[in-house]
Structure 1
């Protein structure tokens, strides 16, 4: 996904790396990005990549959260949860529906965050 994001950057674009899924890492813990090609790709587009680690911004967290809550209260920020009501096979319920939910997201069909509901019996075993 990182390579795809870099290749999709607009001229003067910025890619902010917030986190990654450990399953995407190589055995050495490093991304499989070809480091030699990355500077050339960024230079060609006058683009940049920046890491973001929340712990380094805790001093600003309270003010930022207050601002987000004000935006939400005014209706300028809309938070959506997509349970799959509009998905072809219906809501995402149970672990078996996770694959459908991911496909739904990759097709760009979701609005907001996708939530897969887990039956109570599954929740108690987690």
Structure 2
């Protein structure tokens, strides 16, 4: 699903063992009848990465795809959103709407596109 725009944020929460520290909310270029919102929550000191619970989808109610990631993944995903175009969000959710994998990616690009190397 191609991404039109995004929002990012950070927060702190008192007395919470499992809180998200940052989030990225992705706005689909063309929302569908089952996906209108996408958000990735980045957790601190969590076992979310490579865990059985990396997100969920709500296609019949609030139309969200929600992904969970470790805070260490934030910089890479944010960099792609800042520096690439077009950007896509892809995922797979099983029959129970449990997200099995998700990614932020670009289209095929020719070699040499990017910052100029002055060395």
TM-score by length of 1: 0.21
TM-score by length of 2: 0.22
Higher helix fraction: Structure 1 or Structure 2? Answer: 1
Bigger radius of gyration among the two: 1
Higher strand fraction: Structure 1 or Structure 2? Answer: 2
